[in-house]
Amino acid sequence: MDTGAAIVPVDFLGRAPAPPDPPSFVNLSITMRCNLRCHMCDCPNIKVSEPTPDRWLAFIDRLGDWLPTGTQVLVTGGEPMLHHRCVDFVERLASFGLKVALNTNGTLLNVDKVERLKDAGLSILNVSVDGLAATHDRLRNGPGSFQGIVDILHYVGKHTDWTLHVVPVINAQNHREMPEVVRFFTADPRIKAMHFQSVIPTMGKPWDDGFFDRDALWPKSSDEAEAIAATLETLKEMKRDGAHIDNPEAQFSVWQRYFRNPRNGLTGNECRVAYGSLIAQSNGDLTFCDVFGPVGTIDDDVRAMWESTFAQNRRDDMSRCNLPCNYRVNCCFDESTDPAPADAT
C-alpha cells in the first residue's frame, strides 16, 4: 500500500476530453488501526499519519456536493469503529442522501453504538466472519468474538432496518466450513446475504507473489487447490438452490482458476476499476488502486481530479494491468470484464 504523499500537478493536467460519470462506489478507509490481529491482514502494523477529522469532513462535503444521491460509500479501515469520529462521518455522508455502508469486525459494536449508527443514517452493515466459532476466533485472534458477533447481529436484525451482510474470506484453512457458515447465518431471515471474498496477499502490505508460496492461508498443493475449487462449486450450487449468497457465480468461477494458478492473471479484458471506484486511503491519499499509487489527496477538488487528464492517463495505465488484485478479484468484481473461465468447475 502506497502511503507516500501524492505528487500531482495542481490543475491535474487539465480536464479529460470525455471524463467518466462520477464513481458508483467510494471507499473511505478512515484508519489503519485495528483491535484484532487477523491472519490475513497486516493493517495494524502499517503506521500512517491520519487526516484530522475536519479534513475528512471537508472531503465528505465535497463528495456530497458531487456524487448522485444513492451512491454507495463504504466506511472501512482497519477497524473504522476505532476512529472516535466514525459515527460523525457516517452522519455527514448520509445527510447528502448517500447510501452508507460500514465494514467492521463486529467486536466493538454494542447496543449504544448500534443506536448511534442507526440515528446517523447507516444503511448497510458488513461484518467479517471467517468460519464457525473455533475457526473464526483463531483466524481473527479474537477469543469469543464469534459469539459476540452473533449476539449483536440478532440485536441489529431486530432493531434496525439495515441491510446485513456476513463477509467471510475464503482460504485454505476455512473453506470446508463455508457451506455450514452459509446455513448457520442465512437461517436468520434478517441477514440479507453472505458476501464472500477470496484471500489475497496480506492486506496492508505491497502486493507480494511470494505469499502464494509461503502463507499458511494459501493451498500448498494441487490437491488443496482442487478442494477449495470443490467448495466453491458447492457454494455455486447452494446459490442456485436459493441460498442468500450475493456473489455472482462467475466470481466463484474466477476464484477457482485463481486458487489453481494465482500468477496466471485474469481471463477478462481491460481493468475497469478506475472508471467506477474511488478509494480514499487512511493517510489522505486518493487512489484508484494500491498498485498504481495516488492520484490526489482528500484536500483536492475531487471532481476536478476525477475528470482530469491526469486521472484518465492513470486509467489508461491500469487498463493494461492483469494482476488478480483485491479490487478486481473481490470488492469491484465485474463479470462483464472478468467472465467465468471456460475451464472453471
Confidence of residue 6 (pLDDT cuts 50, 70, 90): very low
Which has the higher per-residue pLDDT, 331 or 175?
A: 175
Is residue 67 scored above 80 in pLDDT? yes
% of the chain residues with pLDDT over 90: 71
All domains in the chain, ordered by first residue:
25-331 (3.20.20.70)
From residue 157, give the alpha-carbon distance in Å to each of 8, 79, 124, 163: 45, 21, 12, 9
Q: What is residue 166's three-state secondary structure?
A: strand
Q: Order of strands, edge to edge, in the sheet holding 72-76? A: 193-194, 163-167, 124-128, 99-104, 72-76, 25-29, 277-280, 285-287, 294-297
Instruction: Please give the single-letter amino acid code of residue 184.
Output: F
Whole-number pLDDT of residue 292: 87
| Residue of 134, 208, 226, 235 whose CA lies nearest to 172 | 226
- pTM of the predicted model, to two decimals? 0.92
Integer Cα distance of 157 and 113 in angstroms: 14
User: Cβ distance 221 to 227 under 8 Å?
Assistant: no
**Tens digit of pLDDT for each residue in 19-42?**
789 999 999 999 999 999 888 888
The DSSP-derived string for 52-85 is: PHHHHHHHHHHHHHHSPTT-EEEEESS-GGGSTT
Is residue 13 scored above 60 in pLDDT? no
% of the chain residues with pLDDT over 70: 92
Is residue 343 scored above 90 in pLDDT? no
**Tens digit of pLDDT for each residue in 237-273?**
999 999 999 999 999 999 999 999 998 767 667 888 8
* H/E stretch holding 28: strand 25-29
| DSSP 8-class letter at 199 | -
Whole-number pLDDT of residue 4: 38
Is residue 204 scored above 80 in pLDDT? no
List Cβ neighbours of 287 (8 Å cut-off, separation of 6 or more). 2, 279, 281, 293, 294, 295
- Region 278-283 average pLDDT: 95
- Region 79-87 average pLDDT: 98
Q: Within 13 Å of residue 82, how many CA atoms lie on the same side as its CB?
A: 18
- Mean pLDDT, the chain, whole residue set: 90
Confidence of residue 325 (pLDDT cuts 50, 70, 90): confident
- Region 110-130 average pLDDT: 98
Integer Cα distance of 25 and 71 in angstroms: 6
Helix locations, the chain, DSSP H: 53-66, 86-95, 111-120, 133-139, 145-159, 178-186, 211-214, 222-240, 249-260, 273-276, 302-306, 309-319, 326
Whole-number pLDDT of residue 89: 99
